[in-house]
């Protein structure tokens, strides 16, 4: 079954290039980090010079202390109403940025899942239709991205708060045993809960996109499916994890070899370092974006194909 899923996902990912755009946006705005070769461009400036080494730690500390004192004196002169306005502005701006960032990521994810579903069911994804469906699913997907994790970590905090006095008040003769029991219970909760919530969210996203379900019914159905088919989900999750690690390892190897080549050019042929950075820097940045987009489409297709089999 999994071999067939991987083969079909690869074919869809390779042929449906318009979906790469949604995959890239979803990957970038979901918080996953890409590869930044800016450090390669800054290689000559990053090399320590004799003047820098001899500058002295004491002088650095003195400059830092003077700067901190001046900053503190300046902040002390700021009136309290200004702090209130500043704090409110920062809070409102941060909230708007967070919600906008989350909305874009979930719209792109919804559009990607819609495009995959349209391709599997109709043979050809309509990019405009996928975008519209993603826009429709964006708000429920945003709630799905926030509320379950809030409940999970709130319960985890409650468990810790309740467990602390139990351990503290336990008799010394059995304190080690109580601590071992609480640690085992916490490990089971965090591990099993984390796995179950991840699988529930994966399935709920597809129910929201494919069936236009609201948050609550989507989570209920997804939770039942995840609880029933957790072995199948875990197997595919491990396969996806292994493939992701292999891709990351291959990418890191290429970057390491390129960085070594760049360092060798800097040391022995500095006249070529600028052309090297100008050519390889943008090329690797573009390749990083492409790799993230393709990987996102491939992994989401894997989960969608498995979901389609589980819901039958």
pLDDT tens digits for range 35-49: 333 333 333 444 444
Residue whose pair of structure tokens reads 């070769």 in the numeric block: 37
Does some domain include residue 279?
yes
Q: Using CB atoms within 10 A of its CB, is residue 141 exposed (0-12), middle (13-18) or buried (19+)? A: buried
Cβ atoms within 10 Å of 110's Cβ, excluding its own? 28
Instruction: Annotate 284-309 with b (16+ C-beta within 10 A) or e (fewer).
Output: beeebbebbbbbbbbbbbbbbbbbee
| Residue 286 located in a structural domain | yes
C-alpha to C-alpha distance for 196 and 233, rounded to whole angstroms: 10
Is the predicted pLDDT of residue 307 greater than 80, yes or no? yes
The count of C-alpha atoms lying within 13 angstroms of the C-alpha of 118, restricted to the half-sphere facing its C-beta, is 20
Residues of the domain holding 132: 2-160+195-310
178 within some domain: no
For 50-64, 119-133, 234-248, which range has the lowest pLDDT when averaged over its residues?
A: 50-64
Is it the case that residue 188 has pLDDT exceeding 50?
yes
Given a cut of 60, whether residue 258 has pLDDT beyond it is: yes
Residue 182 lies in a domain: no
Mean pLDDT of 276-282: 85
| Residue position matching structure tokens 């909230």 | 95
At residue 238 the predicted structure's pLDDT band, cuts being 50, 70 and 90, is very high
Residues 6 or more apart whose Cβ sits within 8 Å of residue 121:
none
| 175 belongs to a structural domain | no
Query: CA neighbours within 13 Å on the CB side: how many for 47?
Result: 9
Q: Report the pLDDT value the prediction gives residue 217, as an integer from 0 to 100.
A: 92
Greater model confidence, 140 or 44? 140
Q: With 0-12 CB in 10 A as exposed, 13-18 as middle and 19+ as buried, what is 103?
A: middle
> Mean of the pLDDT values across residues 134-160?
89
Query: Are 292 and 230 within 8 A, CB to CB?
Result: no
Classify residue 86: in a domain, yes or no.
yes
Residue 53 located in a structural domain: yes
> What whole-number percentage of the chain has pLDDT above 90?
21
Name the most confidently modeled range: 42-46, 77-81, 204-208.
204-208
**Helices assigned H by DSSP within 123-174:** 127-168
Give me the mean pLDDT over the 124-153 stretch.
86
What percentage of residues in the chain have a pLDDT greater than 70? Answer: 85
Where b means 16+ CB within 10 Å and e means fewer, 217-230 reads: ebbebbbebbeebb
pLDDT at 66 over 80: no
Whether this prediction's pTM lies above 0.75 is answered by no
Evaluate whether residue 67 is within a structural domain. Answer: yes
Residue 57 binned pLDDT confidence (cut-offs 50, 70, 90): low
Query: What is the tally of structural domains in the chain?
Result: 1
- Calculate the dihedral angle through the C-alpha atoms of 293, 297, 299, 304, rounding to the nearest 10 degrees: 160
DSSP conformation class of 17? T
Is a pLDDT exceeding 80 seen at residue 58?
A: no
């Amino acid at each position: 079954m999994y071999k067939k899923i991987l083969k079909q996902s690869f074919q869809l990912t390779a042929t449906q290039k318009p979906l790469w755009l949604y995959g890239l946006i979803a990957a970038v705005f979901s918080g996953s980090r890409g590869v930044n070769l800016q450090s390669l461009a800054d290689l000559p400036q990053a090399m320590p010079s004799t003047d820098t080494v001899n500058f002295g730690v004491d002088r650095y500390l003195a400059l830092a202390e003077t700067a901190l004192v001046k900053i503190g004196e300046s902040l002390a002169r700021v009136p309290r109403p200004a702090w209130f306005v500043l704090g409110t502005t920062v809070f409102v701006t941060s909230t708007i940025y967070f919600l906008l960032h989350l909305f874009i990521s979930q719209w792109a994810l919804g559009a990607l899942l819609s495009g995959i579903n349209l391709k599997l069911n109709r043979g050809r994804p309509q990019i405009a239709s996928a975008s519209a469906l993603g826009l429709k699913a964006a708000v429920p997907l945003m709630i799905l991205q926030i509320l379950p994790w809030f409940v999970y970590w709130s319960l985890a905090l409650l468990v810790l708060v309740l467990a602390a006095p139990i351990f503290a008040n336990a008799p010394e003769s059995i304190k080690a045993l109580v601590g071992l029991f609480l640690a085992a219970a916490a490990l089971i909760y965090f591990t099993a809960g984390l796995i179950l919530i991840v699988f529930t969210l994966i399935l709920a996203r597809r129910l929201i996109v494919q069936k236009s379900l609201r948050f609550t019914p989507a989570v209920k159905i997804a939770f039942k499916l995840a609880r029933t088919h957790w072995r199948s989900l875990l197997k595919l999750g491990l396969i996806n994890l292994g493939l992701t690690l292999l891709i990351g390892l291959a990418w890191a190897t290429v970057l390491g070899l390129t960085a070594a080549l760049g360092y060798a050019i800097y040391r022995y042929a500095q006249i070529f370092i600028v052309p090297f950075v100008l050519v390889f820097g943008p090329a690797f940045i573009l390749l990083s974006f492409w790799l993230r987009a393709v990987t996102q489409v491939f992994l989401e297709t894997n989960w969608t194909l498995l979901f389609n089999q589980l819901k039958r």
